[in-house]
Amino acid sequence: MITLASDFGTPYPAAMRGVICTRTDARIEDIAHDFPRQDVRAAAFWLTQTLPYFPPAVHCVVVDPGVGTDRDAVVVRAGTHALVAPDNGVALPVARELADSVEVFTWAYDDPASSTFHGRDVFAPAAAAVHEAGVDVVSELDRTTPTDDYVDLQFPTAELVDGGARGEVLVVDGFGNVVTNIPGSILESRFGGTVTVDGDPIPVRRAYAALDPGDRLVTVGSHGNVELAVTQGRGDDAFGVGVGDPVSLAL
């Protein structure tokens, strides 16, 4: 199985699917192609929310603001999974969730047909090649070279302070739910009660529908992080925050 994730929108991913279909009969599953444009950290986050649910696969990830520059292509082996991606860190956070130990290889690619669409000309052929060879022999392929000199990416860590936490907004999902980097465990005994978010008292609830339409709430999202939401509404609008904004939570 090969999965595809990008910020390409349409129809560019179709060219990638075609390239893959000419090289392998592997099943292809889309993760998403509307990741926030050129936002490597957001893509890295959403990959942690999706790829770990898949069976062993080759994951082709292309969020690549540096396309056409001299940035490398990498193959990241994480247990029975492999990720093929630009060397900008996008694949690392999910790789560490997929396996205890992660190996990174540079992928030597030929001069591609285009300088603007390596998804089609570099990453799709690489994903097909890794899939056909098998994840377990990645290290033996002619095009792979093990490397320690790769771009890494870590999500910012929330600061746990006495009586609360200071974190930031990692992503906003399509419902407007605001995903922070504050671990949900902080709210464990608070459900049904109230916490203070950026100075305002806000109910802590398990379900978006727990309150009246338009009411703000704090919950723990499916990612395990603290999430700012609104019953039948958009949390980003109601809390007035966006990606990268600080969020302060007092218990």
> Where on the chain is the footprint of a second copy (CB under 8 A)?
1, 3, 5, 8-12, 14-19, 21-22, 28-35, 37-38, 46, 49-55, 65-69, 113-117, 120-121, 173-175, 206-210, 219-222, 227, 232
- Give me the phi and psi of 145, to 5 degrees please: -135, 125
Parallel, antiparallel or unpaired: strands 73-78 and 246-250:
unpaired
Measured CA to CA, the distance from residue 94 to residue 72 in angstroms comes to 19
Nearer to a second copy, 144 or 225 (CB): 225
- Give me the least distance between CB of 161 and a second copy, in Å please: 26
Nearer to a second copy, 9 or 79 (CB): 9
Nearer to a second copy, 35 or 105 (CB): 35
- Give me the least distance between CB of 47 and a second copy, in Å please: 8
Nearer to a second copy, 35 or 107 (CB): 35
- Give me the least distance between CB of 87 and a second copy, in Å please: 13
- Give me the least distance between CB of 6 and a second copy, in Å please: 11
Label each residue of 176-225 as H, E or C.
CCEEEEEEHHHHCCCCCCEEEECCEEEEECCCHHHCCCCCEEEEECCCCE
- Give me the least distance between CB of 70 and a second copy, in Å please: 9
- Give me the least distance between CB of 64 and a second copy, in Å please: 9
Nearer to a second copy, 51 or 197 (CB): 51
Nearer to a second copy, 32 or 133 (CB): 32
Nearer to a second copy, 144 or 171 (CB): 171
Label each residue of the chain as H, E or C.
CEEEEECCCCCHHHHHHHHHHCCCCCCEEEEECCCCCCCHHHHHHHHHCCHHHCCCCEEEEECCCCCCCCCCEEEEEECCEEEEEECCCCCHHHHHHHCCCEEEEEECCCCCCCCCCHHHHHHHHHHHHHHHHCHHHHHHCCCEEECCCCCCCCCCCCEEECCEEEEEEEEECCCCCEEEEEEHHHHCCCCCCEEEECCEEEEECCCHHHCCCCCEEEEECCCCEEEEEECCECHHHHHCCCCCCEEEEEC
- Give me the least distance between CB of 174 and a second copy, in Å please: 3
